[in-house]
Structure 1
Amino acid sequence: MASLGKSFNATEHDTEQRGDYTELPNGVYKLEIEASDIVPTKAGNGTILKTTMSVVEPEELKGRKLFESFNLENQNAQAQEIGQRAFASLCRAVGIDSVEDSEQLHFISFTAKIGLGKPSKDGQYPARAEIKRYFFEDEGNLPEPAIDANQPARAAPANDNRPAPAAAKPAAATAPAGRRPWGAK
């Protein structure tokens, strides 16, 4: 238990939920990494670089977040190769050849194409926005950030966290006085 040092009355504060939590629309974005962390893979035998990216442009989406992970070490050679290739593309996009600390990549803007990925195979997680392509300044092909005119149809969320409509419930049986409804004394 942790003492707050004084009583906090939540009813004295605005609790309106703000923000747009839909996935970023498909388009070309200018992004920058604002945070990163190295974590072990779920199996504990590899290394993943997790990044939090922030939209710089287009202006109407400035500040929105995108989360990307790079599988840097993995017992599955193909997973490792895909992760390292994507990380190398990120490094090239920000203009850095060699990285020892992920913080070297922070707050350097780069341009990337974002698109809606695929939902998880088990259906547990919906499709989410992900980087589909990095653009490299050394190739001189940097497009202007813009949202694509055509967007994929969005599926309804599997669970929008609203309670199910109340159904007519039969009258609850009352437990005898002094007894808990589940039978324990």
Structure 2
Amino acid sequence: MAHLGESIDVDNIVPERGDFEALPAGPYMVQITDSDVAETKAGTGLILKLTMEVMDGPFANRKLWTNLNFRNPNATAQRIAQEQIKQICDAVGFQGQLTDSEVLHFRPMRVQLVVKRDEQYGDRNEVKKYSALNGSAPPANKPQPQPAAQKPASSAAQRPASGGQTRPWGNRAA
């Protein structure tokens, strides 16, 4: 038994359900704030669990969750999840081999939410599309073209010297 130290008057507590109601369908600017990998219930695959936070508007600071079955014996489920992971990487400008989902954290992107009706558990949000804030983000680790008058003569001069080091967010220099 655990003694609470003082009593809690549970009769006068009114739960706020607003934070768990589905957001209206539409586009939202979000960032991934947490991620984890877990086994599927059957133990036959892996799920990338993402927590996202709305960054602006009347629903700022609201949380969204999605689970992506990126390793699954069902080829269709796996393909869909991997395509969504690709959309996320493109949206935040990540290229290359994704080995740690933390490199996707705190990078703004846009999601398109829909509302799925569920009689048993209540309405819930589902992400239908991930995209860059401006519609198309250039990869974060790819040098951008320079105006013609400023282009250096050597293409090697266009790339930052990385000495084979990885950048802080895990991308390799181009």
Q: 1:80 to 1:118 in 2, by over 3 A?
A: farther
How many residues of Structure 1 are paired with residues of Structure 2 in the alignment?
Answer: 134
Contact kept in structure 1, 2:114 and 2:127, CA below 8 Å: yes
Post-superposition offset of 1:106: 1.1
Q: 5+ residue gaps in structure 1?
A: 142-185
Match of 1:128 among 116, 124, 133: 124
When you count helix as a share of all residues, which structure comes out higher? 2
Please report how far the alpha carbon of residue 118 of structure 1 lies from its aligned counterpart in structure 2 after TM superposition.
5.1
SS of residue paired to 1:104: helix
TM-score by length of 1: 0.63
Partner of 2:54: 55
Q: How does 1:1-185 map to 2 (within 5 A)?
A: 7-11=5-9, 15-18=13-16, 20=18, 21-57=20-56, 59-97=57-95, 98-117=97-116, 119=118, 124-136=120-132, 139-140=135-136
* 1:16 CA drift (Å): 3.8
Q: Counterparts of 1:31 and 1:139 in 2: how far apart (Å)?
A: 14
- Alignment RMSD (CA, Å): 2.5
Distance 1:10 1:94 in 2: 45
Offset at residue 11 of structure 1 (A): 3.6
Amino-acid identity (%): 34
**How far is the alpha carbon of 1:82 from its aligned partner?**
0.8
Equivalent in the alignment of 2:150: none
TM normalised by structure 2 equals 0.67
- Name the CA distance, whole Å, in 1 between partners of 2:51 and 2:68: 12
Cα distance 1:138–1:130, how it changes in 2: closer, same or farther (>3 A)?
same
Separation of aligned partners in 2, 1:113 and 1:136: 11
Q: Distance in 2 between matches of 1:43 and 1:134?
A: 28
The secondary structure found in structure 2 opposite 1:113 is strand
